[in-house]
Amino acid sequence: MNKAEQQISETIEVFEQVAAGYDNPSLRFFPFCGDRISMHLQLKRGQKVLDVATGTGAALVAAAQMVGPQGRVQAIDLAENMLDRAEHNLQMNGLSNADFHVMDATRLDF
């Protein structure tokens, strides 16, 4: 394993470990940023969105709300536990218009 691969592996390990606590209410910063990002992108109903480094889904939820059931969000992250939290958060908001992929943004598999 080369140095870059080692760094990616270590990063994945960290985010796998912290995923469960990443939605702590004191970290309202993330949903706020997700809302602002989606607003600045001026997403419209029916659009398709790629959310890179989805984490627990702050931008994902905001984007899914904005594109509505006719739209779709593709959520990618290196850490499966983060994507599990993101899917849970999407469902808690009554949304289902997203797909989740464990994927490296430098090697998109679409």
pLDDT in tens, 84-98: 999 999 999 999 999
pTM: 0.84
pLDDT in tens, 42-80: 999 999 999 999 999 999 999 999 999 999 999 999 999
Q: Which amino acid is at 110?
A: F
**CATH class of the domain defined by 3-20+31-107:** alpha beta
The C-alpha atoms of residue 43 and residue 41 are separated, in whole angstroms, by: 5
Q: Report in angstroms the alpha-carbon separations of 35 from 10, 38, 63, 67.
A: 29, 5, 8, 13
